[in-house]
Amino acid sequence: MTSRLISSLSTILKLIVYYLSNSLWKFVFLSMENLNIKKATIADLDQLQQIGKQTFFETFAFGNTEENMKTYLEEGFSVAKLTTELNDNNTEIYFATLDNKVIGYLKINFGQSQTELKDDKALEIERIYVLKNFQGKSVGQLLYDKAIQIALNKNADYVWLGVWEENPRAIKFYKKNGFVEFDKHVFKLGNAEQTDLMMKLKLRNSE
């Protein structure tokens, strides 16, 4: 009986060690105090390219061809393009870091750097992406809250964004935060044309 008990306890201990060694379970047990939001600079270009490619692939690879994904990842996250974005005064990029590891990021645009509306009284959330293993842990919400805080500080009338119509998780997230659909536009991924829902959150009445 004693030997069986010891064997069972040993098995349980091994399972605990296994789960704690997994990054997802590490996150569950770590205090949120270890999660930080920091602004990215040109010195972070390599990290931005890495997190950008990985999160985009995790989000969209299932619904797109390998060739189209390869083309977009090479062009959309090239060193030249990311350098331009990091040096743009009307674009800001923020990392979500956990123990100095980048696990997600936010990209926002103002004024003429917005991808479509170009409204000086608006802020565009172009990207909020979180590594798959850290989704559902409020990382995306913290990045979103950062964007709204900046929009309010800039006295923006509204925040807008585009989200792929076949990304129900993201659509649900933005609807939960008060966004409503107001239009659609075409997003090119390689040679594929996809439909994005354009969504808006009104922050205050415009004068």
Which candidate, 162, 130, 163, places its Cα nearest to that of 146? Answer: 130
DSSP string computed for 70-106: HHHHHHHT-HHHHHHHHT-TTEEEEEEEETTEEEEEE
Which residue among the candidates 72, 105, 129, 174 is catalytic per the annotation?
A: 174
Amino acid identity at 118: K
Residue 204 near residue 152, CB atoms below 8 Å: no
Integer Cα distance of 198 and 174 in angstroms: 11
* Range 55-88 burial, b when 16+ CB lie within 10 A, else e: bbbebbeeebeeebbebbbeeebeeeebeebbee
**Would residue 18 show up in a list of annotated catalytic residues for this protein?**
no
Residue 179 near residue 200, CB atoms below 8 Å: yes
Partnered with residue 135 across adjacent β-strands are: none
Q: Which residues are designated catalytic?
A: 174
